């Protein structure tokens, strides 16, 4: 009998969501056979079985959020009796029946009979609700309920004065947490009945003071995703949790009487202000004509009138403005015709979309492009074509040559091998090259090849093929998607002329390798004679962050890449 646990998929990954079980209870599972798929904030991964046997139990269903090390399933002997996977429990507001029914009530703050936090310390906490007025049974002597009832009187009690709680309308059952609806005290955490959230999402909620209950989750099972939270942040409607949060008692209290409007502040202020100087005007009747106070008297009221208008701290109606955040802005509504098809976005597509929008809003993108003559590279590719494929098992493309030239040029122009930190630039010593990989047109991943500054062309080519294959087969570890310092995206396989890529944050540049075609070029021999020849030519287009450096620096780097590609002895490099 072996337990299958949630694996550690990376140093920063603490939990994930099960998106799919490939085996069901009672199925035979082979060693290293794919058992389930897990989705984290970084990548979707297929997890193989650690042992061979029969899947006898499943403890976490599809859509469940599980922590690293948590037991998810059990694999045993074929004869072992299988246990069905647990069905997701529906949130419970109050149980239909309980061993200790109504009568246990919540004590008022400051009562000595019950602990703070909203529960009376009875042996059977589940199903405790606030008793309705007039329906409270007699408490047991010495119990916590008895202590609580000394502070909460029923409507029928005539002997003792009723506390404020007793005069309140009976709160709905869901206002008091039960054992099934326990609230998580940590900031940004969802309760056990709230949509599931990852640590990154909780941190975003806490950092921005957002209330999870105000955000509609678009993930599996209503899970609030990072893109959901950042959409709210970008919309500017910050639904702060503090003004919205209420205790069960507060939610059942009648609203306080509205403050009467300050009548003198508005319109009436102007006419009432001059009335003040008119009162002393009686005894000073003779002085009235002698002083210029006559004209100044109207001026005096106008002076206070200005502050009162400004002091229209009826702008304290601004506190009511936070109520607006309750309305979360959404995308414009789209009319769906009868023959239209609505295609939900998968996790990778959602994360790609969110990251691209964030990058465009964060960085001032600039494009620099140069035409490259690949004829020297093409001659080496043609000469080594058959032998290379026999030795390595894959074709020799232009991408490894470009990657090798970029790595060397980054050593000379280190500010492109950097990350932008707001008010500083972090220039990295190692060159960790991220390679953008298309996932069957369903999303984009950029796995990272670490330490490329110490690798030759052949090893770089192997690494590119390896990470691309594992990205498409969902075999990448989350840590392989982080730590990149410069990114290459290769659309040239489709014959593109030039594309404007989006920077992979927090990096400061990304290079697009576009299509290579045969075209006439002007060539010059050693004597300076010019002629027309047919060469393999393509464009390298680089998007860069203008906050990090300027156009001359970007152009000098790209020119250096061009020089290396066009002039290096690539045959000596490859062999």
Q: How far apart are CA 510 and CA 419, in angstroms?
A: 12
Alpha-carbon separation of residue 535 from 375, 421, 499 (angstroms): 5, 42, 22
Q: Are 120 and 149 in contact (CB under 8 A)?
A: no
Q: How far apart are CA 235 and CA 546, in angstroms?
A: 25
At residue 68, the pLDDT reads: 84
Six-digit token string for 149: 């009832």
Q: Is 132 left (phi over 0), alpha (psi -120 to 50) or beta?
A: beta
Mean pLDDT of the region 342-362:
88
Alpha-carbon separation of residue 332 from 232, 235, 329, 335 (angstroms): 14, 13, 9, 10
**Residue in this structure with the two tokens 């309140």, named with its chain if needed:** 168
- Closest by CA position to 492, among listed 436, 410, 427, 443: 436
Q: How far apart are CA 473 and CA 22, in angstroms?
A: 15
Q: Are 476 and 45 in contact (CB under 8 A)?
A: yes
Q: Which of 42-46, 334-338, 466-470, 496-500 has the lowest mean pLDDT?
A: 42-46
At residue 435, the pLDDT reads: 96
CA 7 to chain centre: 22
Share of residues in the chain with pLDDT > 70 (%): 60
Alpha-carbon separation of residue 481 from 68, 121, 169, 487 (angstroms): 19, 49, 55, 11
Mean pLDDT of the region 247-266:
47
- The model carries a pTM of 0.53
DSSP helix/strand/coil, 531 = strand
At residue 386, the pLDDT reads: 85
Pairing of the two strands 53-58 and 71-76:
antiparallel
Mean pLDDT of the region 370-375:
96
Q: Are 384 and 522 in contact (CB under 8 A)?
A: no
For the beta carbon of residue 510, count every other beta carbon within 10 angstroms: 25
The pLDDT confidence band at residue 11, using thresholds 50, 70 and 90, is low
At residue 205, the pLDDT reads: 82
Q: Is the confidence at residue 78, as pLDDT, over 90?
A: no
Q: Where are the beta strands (DSSP E) in 6-107?
A: 15-21, 28-29, 34-39, 44-48, 53-58, 65-67, 71-76
At residue 83, the pLDDT reads: 53
Higher-pLDDT residue of 253, 435: 435
pLDDT in tens, 530-552: 999 999 999 999 999 999 999 99
Mean pLDDT of the chain: 73
Residues ≥6 apart with Cβ < 8 Å to 550: none
Q: What is the DSSP string of 35-57?
A: EEEEE-SS-EEEEE-SS-EEEEE
Distance linking the first and last C-alpha atoms of the chain: 52
Q: Is the peptide bond before 506 cis (omega within 30 degrees of 0)?
A: yes
Q: Are 190 and 224 in contact (CB under 8 A)?
A: yes
At residue 337, the pLDDT reads: 92
At residue 132, the pLDDT reads: 45
Q: How far apart are CA 94 and CA 102, in angstroms?
A: 11
DSSP for residue 330: -
The pLDDT confidence band at residue 63, using thresholds 50, 70 and 90, is confident
pLDDT in tens, 487-509: 999 998 899 999 999 999 999 99
Q: Is the confidence at residue 516, as pLDDT, over 90?
A: yes
Catalytic site residues?
546, 550
Q: Is the confidence at residue 135, as pLDDT, over 60?
A: no
**DSSP H or E segment with residue 387:** helix 375-392
Where does residue 95 rank: exposed (0-12), middle (13-18), buried (19+ CB within 10 A)? Answer: middle
Higher-pLDDT residue of 78, 222: 222
Pairing of the two strands 15-21 and 65-67:
antiparallel
For the beta carbon of residue 143, count every other beta carbon within 10 angstroms: 18
Six-digit token string for 110: 């400051």
CA angle 412, 418, 421 (to 5 degrees): 150
Alpha-carbon separation of residue 295 from 256, 265, 300, 306, 508 (angstroms): 46, 24, 9, 18, 68
Q: Are 403 and 431 in contact (CB under 8 A)?
A: no
Radius of gyration of the chain (CA): 35
Q: How far apart are CA 289 and CA 285, in angstroms?
A: 8
Q: Are 484 and 509 in contact (CB under 8 A)?
A: no
Q: What domains lie within the chain, and their CATH numbers?
A: 2-76 (2.40.50.100), 130-175 (no CATH), 176-243 (4.10.320.10), 366-574 (3.30.559.10)
């Amino acid at each position: 009998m072996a337990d299958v646990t949630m694996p550690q998929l990376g140093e920063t990954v603490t939990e994930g969501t099960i998106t799919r079980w490939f085996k069901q209870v009672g199925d035979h599972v082979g060693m290293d056979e794919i058992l389930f798929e897990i989705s984290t904030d970084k990548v979707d991964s297929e997890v193989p079985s650690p042992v061979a046997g029969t899947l006898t139990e499943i403890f976490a269903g599809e859509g469940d959020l599980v922590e690293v090390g948590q037991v998810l399933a059990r694999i045993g002997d074929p004869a072992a009796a299988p246990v069905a996977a647990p069905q997701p429990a529906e949130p419970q507001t109050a149980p239909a029946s309980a061993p200790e029914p109504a009568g246990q009530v919540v004590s008022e703050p400051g009562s000595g009979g019950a602990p703070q936090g909203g529960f009376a310390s009875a042996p059977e906490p589940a199903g405790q609700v606030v008793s309705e007025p007039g329906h409270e049974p007699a408490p047991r002597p010495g119990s916590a309920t008895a202590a609580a009832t000394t502070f909460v009187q029923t409507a029928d009690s005539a002997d003792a004065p009723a506390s404020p709680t007793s005069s309140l309308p009976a709160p709905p059952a869901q206002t008091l947490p039960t054992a099934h609806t326990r609230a998580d005290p940590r900031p940004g955490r969802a309760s056990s009945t709230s949509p599931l959230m990852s640590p990154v999402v909780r941190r975003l909620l806490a950092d921005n003071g957002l209330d999870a209950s105000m955000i509609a989750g678009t993930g599996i099972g209503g899970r609030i995703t990072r893109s959901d939270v950042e959409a709210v942040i970008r919309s500017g409607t910050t639904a702060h949790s503090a003004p919205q949060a209420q205790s069960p008692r507060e939610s059942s209290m009648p609203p306080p009487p509205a403050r009467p409007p300050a009548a003198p502040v508005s319109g009436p202020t102007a006419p009432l202000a001059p009335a003040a100087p008119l009162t002393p005007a009686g005894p000073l009747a003779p002085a009235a004509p002698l002083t210029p106070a006559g004209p100044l008297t109207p001026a005096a009221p106008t002076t206070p009138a200005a502050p009162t208008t400004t002091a229209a701290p009826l702008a304290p109606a601004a506190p009511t403005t936070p109520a607006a955040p309750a309305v979360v802005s959404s995308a414009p509504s789209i009319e769906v015709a009868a023959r239209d098809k609505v295609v939900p976005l998968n996790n990778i597509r959602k994360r790609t979309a969110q990251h691209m929008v964030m990058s465009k809003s964060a960085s001032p993108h600039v494009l620099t492009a140069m035409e490259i003559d690949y004829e020297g590279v093409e001659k080496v590719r043609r000469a080594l074509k058959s032998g290379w494929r026999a030795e390595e098992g894959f074709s020799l493309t232009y991408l490894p040559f470009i990657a090798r030239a970029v790595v060397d040029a980054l050593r000379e122009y280190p500010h492109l091998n950097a990350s932008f930190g707001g008010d500083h630039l972090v220039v990295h010593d190692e060159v960790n090259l991220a390679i953008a990989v298309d996932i069957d047109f369903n999303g984009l991943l950029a796995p990272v090849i670490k330490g490329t500054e110490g690798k030759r062309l052949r090893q770089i080519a192997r690494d590119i093929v390896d990470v691309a294959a594992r990205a498409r087969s969902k075999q990448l570890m989350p840590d392989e998607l982080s730590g990149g310092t410069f990114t290459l995206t290769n659309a040239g396989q489709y014959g593109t002329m030039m594309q404007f890529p989006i920077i992979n944050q927090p990096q400061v540049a990304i290079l697009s390798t576009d299509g290579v075609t045969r075209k006439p070029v002007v060539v010059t021999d050693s004597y300076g004679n010019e002629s027309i020849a047919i060469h393999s030519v393509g464009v390298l287009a680089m998007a860069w962050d203008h906050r990090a450096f300027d156009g001359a620096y970007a152009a000098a780097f790209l020119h250096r890449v061009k020089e290396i590609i066009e002039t290096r002895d690539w045959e000596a490099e490859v062999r």
